[in-house]
């Protein structure tokens, strides 16, 4: 089965600051927009940021995973191994404040992966990961 792009819509309380973050910091191409929402090419997927008043946004929590506090909810994409590492370098050069710094999980085991977490300017948690062997994406 061919993997198809997904569509994800997220709330942001500051449309212009997040527009700049996704476009300039993460390098996402901008698509259609209005005064209440903006489409982005999020690594081949459609991400839409929608304005939502600050008092309407939900608080996030975390769950312990691999000895770290993983933010919940979160979203992101699986990148190619080399792309992940280049992207991590780019984010570090832009002084991104990581919730979880880039690191390797399950090293030498099935499902070995690189992962990192950070937040957009409105607090939405993002995870980017890459598998050493993409065929082990769902390995147990």
pTM of the entire predicted model: 0.90
Task: Tell me the chain's radius of gyration from C-alpha atoms.
Answer: 15
For residues 32 and 81, state if they share a domain. Answer: no
Mean pLDDT of successive 10-residue stretches along the chain, which has 140 residues: 84 96 97 95 95 76 86 91 97 97 93 96 96 87
pLDDT of residue 110: 87
pLDDT of residue 57: 65
Q: List the structure tokens of 38.
A: 């903006």
Residue 56 and residue 29: Cα distance in Å, rounded? Answer: 27
For residues 139 and 74, state if they share a domain. Answer: yes
Is residue 99 within 8 Å of residue 117, measured between CB atoms? yes
pLDDT of residue 94: 96
pLDDT of residue 1: 64
pLDDT of residue 59: 67
Domain housing 67: 63-140
pLDDT of residue 128: 97
SS3 of residue 93 by DSSP: helix
For residues 73 and 41, state if they share a domain. Answer: no
Residue 137 and residue 110: Cα distance in Å, rounded? Answer: 9
Residue 128 and residue 38: Cα distance in Å, rounded? Answer: 21
pLDDT of residue 139: 77
The CATH number of residue 128's host domain is: 3.10.180.10
């Amino acid at each position: 089965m061919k993997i198809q792009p997904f569509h994800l819509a997220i709330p942001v309380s500051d449309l212009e600051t997040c527009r700049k973050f996704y476009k300039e910091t993460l390098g996402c191409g901008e698509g259609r927009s209005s005064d209440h929402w903006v489409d982005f090419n999020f690594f081949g997927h459609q991400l839409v940021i929608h304005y939502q008043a600050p008092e309407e946004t939900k608080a996030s929590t975390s769950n312990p995973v691999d000895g770290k506090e993983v933010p919940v909810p979160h979203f992101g994409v699986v990148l190619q191994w080399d792309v992940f590492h280049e992207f991590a370098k780019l984010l570090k050069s832009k002084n991104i404040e990581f919730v979880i710094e880039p690191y390797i999980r399950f090293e030498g085991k099935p499902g070995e992966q690189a992962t990192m977490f950070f937040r957009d300017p409105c607090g939405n948690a993002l995870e980017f990961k890459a598998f050493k062997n993409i065929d082990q994406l769902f390995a147990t």
